[in-house]
Amino acid sequence: MTSEKGAGTRFKPGQSGNPAGPAKALDKSRRALARLIADNAAEICATTLRLALAGDPSCAAAMTNLIASGFAEASAAGKNAAVGPGARSTPMVIDGELA
């Protein structure tokens, strides 16, 4: 009796269990959802913020996570702002207005 690694299994050692990769329909659905969210980002953020301020704990957590991720600072700084590790910019706010 041999005790080779992979003996008696469906796949040979080093062979992927799914050589075709993930289902194409799933990737298409993810892209469609990302596009839908991007197209409605301002409305989604406004609604989430309104609900958070009204006391919805899930929306408050979502807004906290959004702010902690640095997304809010990058958006406030403009679309040409550098985004990534170490590239966070914090805009200055004076009397409620971006300076």
- Predicted pLDDT of residue 48: 94
- Predicted pLDDT of residue 66: 85
Distances (CA, A) of 75 to 24, 31, 94: 32, 21, 17
- For the chain, which residues make up each domain, given as ranges? 24-77
pLDDT along the chain (99 residues), means of 10: 58 73 81 92 93 95 88 59 48 50
- Predicted pLDDT of residue 86: 46
- Predicted pLDDT of residue 98: 52
- Predicted pLDDT of residue 78: 57
- Predicted pLDDT of residue 62: 92
Rounded distance between C-alpha atoms, residue 77 and residue 91, angstroms: 6
